[in-house]
Chain A
């Protein structure tokens, strides 16, 4: 009989212990970490300099992830406390930093060194779809470059697939908005970062040159894969 209260007291103690450590893991909050690139920072030269790749990956993308995790933790807290005004206030930070993480994760996969097929145009169903929807690869590239150059401020230019209509679309998003904010059915195949940090050190203010050269390292294999999954 004397044991029971002792047992329940120790159980109570371990409960409080697990509550103070790993609280978020206990409740299942997933945090995010910087994905590795499958190529060296310098492997995309001369289209994109190694200096830019390193800064872009290690500083910018990492910052989005850090702030995204922070915002998610704060959101979890606010939800648990039923603090609606904090929940709503955090939405913009989540959209910005979460979007930054999503977009850059896709971006790294959209690029590959020339030696690994970067720049090679897509064969198969995606290539055919591009010719059907845009006429030719050149027309698509021109369209994307024009929209990318005309974007005011910071943002992304995308080649996306409308899941429902199975049509390819070219669209832009502002700041770090993911493509899905432009249409719930849009799946990003290819995204080009036109924030100044993506090209300034190398191309200065000549964004059109950056857009012209980035095609040499675009990884169409990844875009084809994503396309193939949605349009088998």
Chain B
């Protein structure tokens, strides 16, 4: 026991000695040409396959995008779209045709995409009350919800700009006169549904004040089941974003024509935003996104090219490593 203690003490002392004398064992990587070429080769060999795999995944995804915000305004209102969208008396329904160009395997995801919509604006992002969303009226301090906080003296549930501006276009899909079933459950992250939105919180006074923004909510359904709201309230990172609307759980064949009946309620005209409808399948890597694959391939191939360039350089203009004649004081003495 004493021996062990002494042994331990000695090792600690040696370690400290090495520390103070600054002679800790260390590996000293020197970037020799060999290493450089090997590393570049290695990176090339890793990233090209990875890139190809991700590209393949991305290519397997079929995506149909349809911008409908301009087309869905009747000809008469094309000049003044804002008055059209703000006039409740005008019917907002609209029909679009989408052609499936390739076989799409279920589930097919329906997204609405908004462009030039700053969901990440500071005033917007902070205008919500997470506690109210969870606890409902029991939680009274809703000052963060400015400027959409109170309705006739009572806090709005759910309060805040984000909820107030809820997206309220709706879509139905018809294929060959038969309506496609759209599953609108499970479109929000489970963690949001279970832990952020209360099961007993009902939007009893939502959107019935003086200023009406976006969509309304069914006061009977608790917030935790209002998945549209939950999706909407997970604010996006960029001013151009997609949000999940639902899923079509039937396969679509190539050359199918889908008729989309939509209610063009949501006002993007006042700030020049775009609205798009997206139908997309999904791979293990998510939606159609070539960027990742391209980036990988570019990095991989440029590494390979660099490896080749360095090899050629090494063969042709070889700098003798550790050549003292490169040292400035030697250089000087040679020239002088």
Partners in one complex: no
Chain A interface (Cβ < 8 Å from any Cβ of B): none
